[in-house]
């Protein structure tokens, strides 16, 4: 039972959280289903009348909010409603309204960050990263609004816009290397995803090989099968597939085995101390070897220092991306460089000039 909400009344003889805990514990007793023991866990949200509300509909909504909060605290928690929860929901709703407006009125734009050969600095591609600057809220990080778009059912619209704009820019640059676009698994699971990719490539006169999709692994097993099917169709168009943020999720290796992939993208959290830590060096070296043994290219993201780059080269890393090579910036920042001789120069020291300030 995952969606249990309990509305208590203040006249209850026992303190309400005690009642909720007893209810939760009663539900936690194993049940026998066709002779098999089954364990259920309940998260309990409580709202009180008064003071929270005297309207049943409001009470249920508030208990529901408390329950959502309880679930975030781990299964089996009990949470009593508090006014701050309403405020948080209003904040989310406000953000959602502003995001809808941005999507409808062209309020988003893309920044681009180069991906280069770790040894030579040859340009291997650009990653497109969505940016939203709201007139009232200022710069809102994708880590905040992309999950919101997923929850609010806006991810299809957001993803379609990003894909279209990134492909338009790749065509305008006449880019010979792939443009990498982040896609949410929820988006990939949508029925028309393959068709949308196909149509967008055609609209901009691009080959499949000029596009790479970066997938993050926040997936359930059920999604995974559908996502794998859709991705295989997209891959058949020649599109490259990269598993983003590898090393951060809990299902990294099983995801790796189940999705059709061309590239493994190691998360920056794996390489923070790679210049000096022998353990990190061994782990990263092993992951590079794992990728190779599966015939995947391996790219490391978040490379910020020459020491990290040097260590990664010694570990046999083929491709890198990060502030050391170039911060994400608008297309206009990269256009002059693309007109000149490539590769991009790998700096000896410090971050590359230009581009945005640290976002994370
Ligand atoms: P990601 O795809 O793993 O992107 C890498 C993030 O690391 C970006 O953050 C980038 O600005 C940042 N970064 C790049 N180099 C460095 C570095 O050297 N050091 C540090 N500390 N950070 C670096 P950003 O742009 O805030 O994006 C965060 C996440 O939001 C992305 O992670 C991606 O998962 C998601 N995202 C961004 N754009 C899109 C999009 O268009 N669609 C979808 N579905 N998700 C997106
Ligand atoms: Mg990415
Ligand atoms: Mg990543």
- pLDDT value of residue 74: 66
- pLDDT value of residue 260: 95
Protein residues within 5 Å, CB atom, of ion ligand 3:
244-245
Q: 121-155 pLDDT, tens per residue?
A: 899 999 999 999 998 889 999 999 998 998 888 99
Please give the number of the atom of ligand 1 that sits closest to the Cα of 149. Answer: 44
| 96 Cβ inside 6 Å of ligand 1 | no
- pLDDT value of residue 5: 42
- pLDDT value of residue 355: 63
Going from the Cα of 313 to the center of ligand 3, the distance in angstroms, rounded, reads: 20
Give the count of beta carbons closer than 10 Å to the beta carbon of residue 138: 8
| 129 Cβ inside 6 Å of ligand 1 | yes
Could you tell me if 242 and 212 are in contact, meaning their C-beta atoms sit under 8 angstroms apart?
yes
Closest C-alpha to ligand 1, atom 8: 129
Lowest mean pLDDT among 184-188, 222-226, 332-336: 222-226
Please give the number of the atom of ligand 1 that sits closest to the Cα of 304. Answer: 18
Angle between helices 83-104 and 142-151 (to 10 degrees): 90
| 236 Cβ inside 6 Å of ligand 1 | no
| 165 Cβ inside 6 Å of ligand 1 | no
Residues 60, 64, 66: CA angle, nearest 5 degrees: 120
Distances (CA, A) of 284 to 220, 241, 288: 26, 21, 6
Listed ranges 1-10, 81-90, 255-264; the one with the highest mean pLDDT: 255-264
- pLDDT value of residue 7: 43
Closest C-alpha to ligand 1, atom 11: 328
SS3 169: helix
Order the strands of the 44-47 sheet from edge to edge.
6-7, 44-47, 78-80
Could you tell me if 125 and 180 are in contact, meaning their C-beta atoms sit under 8 angstroms apart?
yes
* Ligand nearest, relative to CA of residue 129: 1
Mutation choice for ligand 1 from 108, 182, 185, 247, CB with most ligand atoms inside 8 A: 182
Going from the Cα of 302 to the center of ligand 3, the distance in angstroms, rounded, reads: 8
- pLDDT value of residue 66: 82
| 150 Cβ inside 6 Å of ligand 1 | no
Please give the number of the atom of ligand 1 that sits closest to the Cα of 129. Answer: 38
Mutation choice for ligand 1 from 301, 350, 352, CB with most ligand atoms inside 8 A: 301
- Mean pLDDT along residues 260-270: 95
Count the helices and strands in the chain (H runs, E runs). 12, 14
Q: Which of 173, 81, 83 is nearest to 123 (CA)?
A: 173
| 301 Cβ inside 6 Å of ligand 1 | yes
| 244 Cβ inside 6 Å of ligand 1 | yes
Q: Collect all residues with Cβ–Cβ distance below 8 Å to 40 and sequence separation of at least 6.
A: 1, 27, 28, 31
114 vs 120: CA distance, rounded Å = 13
348 has pLDDT over 80: no
Q: What share of residues in the chain are helix, strand, coil (percent, to 5)?
A: 45, 20, 35
141 vs 117: CA distance, rounded Å = 28
Q: 93-117 pLDDT, tens per residue?
A: 788 899 999 999 999 999 999 999 9
* Ligand nearest, relative to CA of residue 128: 1
- Residue recorded with tokens 């099983």: 254
Whole-prediction pTM value? 0.81
Going from the Cα of 139 to the center of ligand 1, the distance in angstroms, rounded, reads: 14
Going from the Cα of 298 to the center of ligand 1, the distance in angstroms, rounded, reads: 17
Chain centroid to CA 214: how far?
A: 10
> Could you tell me the end-to-end alpha-carbon distance of the chain, in angstroms, rounded to an integer?
37
Protein residues within 5 Å, CB atom, of ion ligand 2:
182, 214, 244
Chain centroid to CA 204: how far?
A: 26
Q: Which of 318, 342, 311 is nearest to 117 (CA)?
A: 318
């Amino acid at each position: 039972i995952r969606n249990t909400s309990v509305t208590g009344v203040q006249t209850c003889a026992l303190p309400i959280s005690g009642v909720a805990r007893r209810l939760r514990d009663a539900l936690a007793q194993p049940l026998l289903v066709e002779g098999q023991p089954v364990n259920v866990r309940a998260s309990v949200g409580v709202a009180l009348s008064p003071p929270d509300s005297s309207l049943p509909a409001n009470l249920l909504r508030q208990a529901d909010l408390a329950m959502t909060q309880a679930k975030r605290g781990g299964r089996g928690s009990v949470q009593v409603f508090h006014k701050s929860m309403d405020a948080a929901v209003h904040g989310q709703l406000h953000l959602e309204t502003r995001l809808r407006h941005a999507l409808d009125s062209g309020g988003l734009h893309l920044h681009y960050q180069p991906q280069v050969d770790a040894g030579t600095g040859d340009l291997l591609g650009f990653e497109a990263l969505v940016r939203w600057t709201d007139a009232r809220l200022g710069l809102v990080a994708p880590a905040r609004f992309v999950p919101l778009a997923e929850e609010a059912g806006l991810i299809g619209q957001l993803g379609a816009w990003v894909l279209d704009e990134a492909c338009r820019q790749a065509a305008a640059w006449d880019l010979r290397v792939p443009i990498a676009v982040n896609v949410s698994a929820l988006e990939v699971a949508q029925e028309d995803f393959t068709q949308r990719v196909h149509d967008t490539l055609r609209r901009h006169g691009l080959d499949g090989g000029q596009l790479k999709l970066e997938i993050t692994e926040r997936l359930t097993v059920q999604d995974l099968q559908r996502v794998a099917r859709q991705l295989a169709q997209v891959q058949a168009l020649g599109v490259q597939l990269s598993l983003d943020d590898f090393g951060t999720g809990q299902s990294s290796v099983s995801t790796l085995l189940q999705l059709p992939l061309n590239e493994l993208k190691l998360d920056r959290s794996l390489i923070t101390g790679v210049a000096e830590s022998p353990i990190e060096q061994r782990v990263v070296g092993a992951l590079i070897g794992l990728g190779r043994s599966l015939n995947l290219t391996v790219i490391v993201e978040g490379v910020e220092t020459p020491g990290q780059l040097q260590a990664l080269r010694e570990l046999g890393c083929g491709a890198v991306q990060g502030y050391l090579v170039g911060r994400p910036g608008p297309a206009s920042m990269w256009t002059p460089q693309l007109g000149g001789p490539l590769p991009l120069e790998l700096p000896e020291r410090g971050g590359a000039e230009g581009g945005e300030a640290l976002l994370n």
